[in-house]
Amino acid sequence: MSELVSMEKLVSLCKRRGFIFQSSEIYGGINGFWDYGPYGTTLKRAIENLWWKEMVVSREDVEGLDSTVICNPMVWKASGHLEKFGDLMTDCRDCKARHRVDQMEDPSLCPNCGSKNLTEPREFNLMMKTYVGPISDEDHAAYLRAETCQPIFVNFHNVRIASRQKLPFGIAQVGKAFRNEINPRNFTFRSREFSQMEMEYFCADEEAMEWFEYWKEQRTKYYYDYLNFSDETLRIHKHDELAHYAKAAVDIEYQFPFGWGELEGIHHRGTWDMSRHQQYSGENLEYFDQKNKSKFIPTVIETSVGLDRTTLAVLCNAYDEDTAETQKIGKAEDVRVVMRLPFKVAPVQAAVLPLSKKLSEKAEGVYNDIKKQFRSEFDITGSIGKRYRRQDEIGTPYCITVDFDTIEDDTVTVRDRDSMKQDRVSAGKLINYLNDQVK
């Protein structure tokens, strides 16, 4: 993470450049809900696609699933969410602030106003409730999923039979999850509606620790290789306290401006979920191993990532300001804000900027060529300096300038976002040139 980034600067850039907006902003917003603007949507989708390619498309042992947000409420009874999925909370009687007890440094003092006039801590369930059908009574109550993995467990046999997979294999899904968080905070980091990317890997119990180590390594590598995170900003945090059914758990954490925060959990979930669903549904969820002629409930290793948190970490990681002489535009003290987004996830990978409106026909031709391969933008509005600044804030790795020489010799200027180096390139070889740079 750049030392220059503060959440205040980032939130302001996200709004200004159309990455992230407050949900229903014209009505004053709604706490814990966020909308992604044009560039934010593309960035988030690119991160999701990278994950999906890495975890599903490029593997033979992981299948995809896209389940509903609302399931039979028995799913949440079996998973334990209805009985116990919450936090202890307390209210300050003086300033009316509400707090999660586990997040208070001194649980006897209000962190907001310092008062000791707090209510007794009480359990608060995070499941979001709704009603299915026209009658709003308990018989028709249903819940928005609090994690995307439970529908994976209940579809184990459906997916296994349809895909003809044998153990070990995984099922992955990306989708929305909802939690009625007591204190949503730190921008999108803790939201009430968010997306998860989860993969449940089913295996024999005796192989589970090996798979746990394998997935820990794979998932850590992903952040270095694809998202350009470094040792300074990424760490693995081993859980000291484990759920009663779990044998091992680690979190992959990123250093946000507000401190270290969890991006992903790798969990050895034992046979807990599958056993509970077998017990509550009355269906046999055992796996028959033909080689050993044995029947058993599979053990599960889970990799669970927050897509919004990863997107936020990518944005924090990309934020930079530079004041080098060559980058000054206008006033001497001008500072360039630049989002150094990795090429693979940048919402705009190349922008075509004609120097004059008279060049727009030629520039459109260049744009039409490159947009077939790269996420591209055509921008003709404002001075060239301002257009560069705008693309720097969006994080566009390459700006292609079409000038009057282009008409003469069919060459364009390619400006590299990070080095600010400019190359003169033949328009016909532009796609090859960009491909080479990316390599």
Give residues in contact with ligand GAP (CB under 6 A).
147, 149, 179, 181, 190-191, 194, 196, 198, 262-265, 302, 304-306, 308-309
Q: How far apart are CA 201 and CA 223, in angstroms?
A: 20
When the beta carbons of 178 and 343 are compared against ligand GAP, the nearer one is 178
- Report, in Å, the least distance between residue 149 CB and ligand GAP: 4
When the beta carbons of 168 and 265 are compared against ligand GAP, the nearer one is 265
Long-range contacts of 107-110 (CB under 8 A, 24+ apart): none
Which two tokens mark 437?
A: 């740079």
- Report, in Å, the least distance between residue 344 CB and ligand GAP: 20
- Report, in Å, the least distance between residue 73 CB and ligand GAP: 18
When the beta carbons of 194 and 374 are compared against ligand GAP, the nearer one is 194
When the beta carbons of 266 and 285 are compared against ligand GAP, the nearer one is 266
CB atoms within 10 A of CB 105: 6
* DSSP-assigned letter for residue 127: P
When the beta carbons of 306 and 354 are compared against ligand GAP, the nearer one is 306
- Report, in Å, the least distance between residue 156 CB and ligand GAP: 15
CA distances from 252 to 45, 282, 314 (A): 21, 36, 14
Tallying the residues shown for the chain, one arrives at 439
- Report, in Å, the least distance between residue 24 CB and ligand GAP: 18
When the beta carbons of 147 and 392 are compared against ligand GAP, the nearer one is 147
Which two tokens mark 169?
A: 């294999």
When the beta carbons of 190 and 389 are compared against ligand GAP, the nearer one is 190
- Report, in Å, the least distance between residue 191 CB and ligand GAP: 4
> Which helix H or strand E contains 281, and what residues bound it?
helix 272-281
Which two tokens mark 41?
A: 């949507």
The answer to whether the CB of 413 falls within 8 A of the CB of 424 is yes
Which two tokens mark 72?
A: 């039979």
- Report, in Å, the least distance between residue 318 CB and ligand GAP: 19
When the beta carbons of 192 and 415 are compared against ligand GAP, the nearer one is 192
**β-strand partners of 260:** 255
- Report, in Å, the least distance between residue 347 CB and ligand GAP: 21
When the beta carbons of 302 and 377 are compared against ligand GAP, the nearer one is 302
CA dihedral sign of residues 127, 311, 320, 10: negative
- Report, in Å, the least distance between residue 173 CB and ligand GAP: 11
CA dihedral sign of residues 420, 425, 431, 432: negative
Q: How far apart are CA 244 and CA 138, in angstroms?
A: 31
The CB-nearest residue to ligand GAP is 306
When the beta carbons of 75 and 263 are compared against ligand GAP, the nearer one is 263
- Report, in Å, the least distance between residue 10 CB and ligand GAP: 16
Q: How far apart are CA 257 and CA 4, in angstroms?
A: 9
234: helix, coil or strand? strand
Which two tokens mark 272?
A: 């807990």
Q: How far apart are CA 372 and CA 228, in angstroms?
A: 26
Q: How far apart are CA 42 and CA 432, in angstroms?
A: 24
| Closest CA relative to residue 303, chosen from 219, 242, 367 | 219
Q: Please, what is the end-to-end C-alpha distance for the chain in angstroms? A: 24
